[in-house]
Protein backbone atom coordinates (compact mmCIF):
# COMPACT_ATOMS: atom_id res chain seq x y z
CA UNK A 1 0.00 0.00 0.00
CA UNK A 2 1.03 3.56 -0.66
CA UNK A 3 0.59 6.22 2.04
CA UNK A 4 -0.07 9.85 1.13
CA UNK A 5 0.04 12.61 3.74
CA UNK A 6 -2.26 15.42 2.67
CA UNK A 7 -0.76 18.93 2.72
CA UNK A 8 -2.61 20.12 5.87
CA UNK A 9 -1.28 17.06 7.72
CA UNK A 10 2.26 17.86 6.65
CA UNK A 11 1.89 21.36 8.11
CA UNK A 12 0.30 19.97 11.29
CA UNK A 13 3.21 17.55 11.74
CA UNK A 14 5.74 20.32 11.17
CA UNK A 15 4.02 22.47 13.81
CA UNK A 16 3.76 19.51 16.17
CA UNK A 17 7.46 18.72 15.72
CA UNK A 18 8.39 22.30 16.59
CA UNK A 19 6.14 22.23 19.67
CA UNK A 20 7.51 18.93 21.01
CA UNK A 21 11.13 19.95 20.48
CA UNK A 22 10.63 23.34 22.13
CA UNK A 23 8.61 21.98 25.05
CA UNK A 24 10.22 18.56 25.68
CA UNK A 25 13.43 18.39 23.63
CA UNK A 26 14.83 16.51 20.67
CA UNK A 27 14.82 13.11 22.37
CA UNK A 28 11.08 13.38 23.01
CA UNK A 29 10.51 14.26 19.37
CA UNK A 30 12.63 11.30 18.23
CA UNK A 31 10.56 8.94 20.40
CA UNK A 32 7.30 10.44 19.13
CA UNK A 33 8.47 10.27 15.51
CA UNK A 34 9.52 6.63 15.90
CA UNK A 35 6.16 5.70 17.46
CA UNK A 36 4.40 7.52 14.65
CA UNK A 37 6.48 5.69 11.99
CA UNK A 38 5.71 2.35 13.66
CA UNK A 39 1.99 3.15 13.64
CA UNK A 40 2.07 4.09 9.95
CA UNK A 41 3.80 0.77 9.20
CA UNK A 42 1.03 -1.05 11.11
CA UNK A 43 -1.61 0.84 9.12
CA UNK A 44 0.09 -0.07 5.85
CA UNK A 45 0.21 -3.74 6.87
CA UNK A 46 -3.50 -3.90 7.80
CA UNK A 47 -5.25 -0.63 6.87
CA UNK A 48 -8.77 -1.78 7.65
CA UNK A 49 -7.91 -2.82 11.22
CA UNK A 50 -8.52 0.73 12.42
CA UNK A 51 -11.86 1.75 13.86
CA UNK A 52 -14.32 4.26 12.42
CA UNK A 53 -13.93 7.61 14.18
CA UNK A 54 -17.11 8.03 16.26
CA UNK A 55 -17.39 11.66 15.15
CA UNK A 56 -17.79 10.54 11.52
CA UNK A 57 -20.42 7.83 11.99
CA UNK A 58 -23.37 10.24 11.70
CA UNK A 59 -22.02 11.52 8.38
CA UNK A 60 -22.07 8.02 6.88
CA UNK A 61 -18.57 8.48 5.51
CA UNK A 62 -17.20 5.08 4.63
CA UNK A 63 -13.58 4.09 4.32
CA UNK A 64 -12.32 6.35 7.12
CA UNK A 65 -10.42 4.81 10.00
CA UNK A 66 -8.46 5.87 13.03
CA UNK A 67 -5.69 4.37 15.11
CA UNK A 68 -3.91 5.60 18.21
CA UNK A 69 -0.24 6.50 18.11
CA UNK A 70 0.86 7.39 21.60
CA UNK A 71 -1.41 10.25 22.67
CA UNK A 72 -2.41 11.02 19.08
CA UNK A 73 -5.10 9.86 16.70
CA UNK A 74 -4.25 9.20 13.07
CA UNK A 75 -7.33 9.51 10.87
CA UNK A 76 -7.05 8.17 7.36
CA UNK A 77 -9.05 6.97 4.37
CA UNK A 78 -8.40 3.82 2.40
CA UNK A 79 -9.07 4.17 -1.31
CA UNK A 80 -7.98 1.22 -3.41
CA UNK A 81 -4.33 0.58 -2.68
CA UNK A 82 -3.69 4.07 -1.27
CA UNK A 83 -3.95 5.32 2.31
CA UNK A 84 -4.65 9.05 2.61
CA UNK A 85 -3.73 10.47 6.01
CA UNK A 86 -6.19 13.29 6.73
CA UNK A 87 -5.47 14.19 10.35
CA UNK A 88 -3.01 13.61 13.14
CA UNK A 89 -4.49 15.10 16.31
CA UNK A 90 -4.04 14.89 20.04
CA UNK A 91 -6.46 12.27 21.36
CA UNK A 92 -7.73 14.77 23.94
CA UNK A 93 -8.71 17.30 21.25
CA UNK A 94 -12.26 17.96 20.12
CA UNK A 95 -12.26 16.39 16.67
CA UNK A 96 -15.50 18.08 15.59
CA UNK A 97 -13.98 21.48 16.39
CA UNK A 98 -10.81 20.62 14.48
CA UNK A 99 -12.81 19.46 11.46
CA UNK A 100 -14.89 22.65 11.48
CA UNK A 101 -11.78 24.84 11.69
CA UNK A 102 -10.11 22.86 8.90
CA UNK A 103 -13.21 23.18 6.70
CA UNK A 104 -13.33 26.95 7.09
CA UNK A 105 -9.58 27.34 6.64
CA UNK A 106 -9.78 25.92 3.12
- Domain-by-domain residue ranges, the chain? 2-105
Confidence of residue 104 (pLDDT cuts 50, 70, 90): low
Is 98:22 a contact under the CB 8 Å cutoff? no
Q: Count other Cβ atoms within 10 Å, centred on residue 103.
A: 8
At the topology level of CATH, where does 2-105 sit?
YaeB-like fold (3.30.2310)
Cα(47)–Cα(41) distance, rounded to whole angstroms?
9
pLDDT at 5 over 90: yes
Give the tens place of pLDDT for each residue, 60-100. 777 899 999 988 899 999 999 999 999 998 877 777 777 77
Amino acid sequence: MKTVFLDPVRQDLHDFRRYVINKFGGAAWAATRNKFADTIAEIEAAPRNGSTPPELIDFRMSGYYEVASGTNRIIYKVDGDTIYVHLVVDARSDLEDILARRLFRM
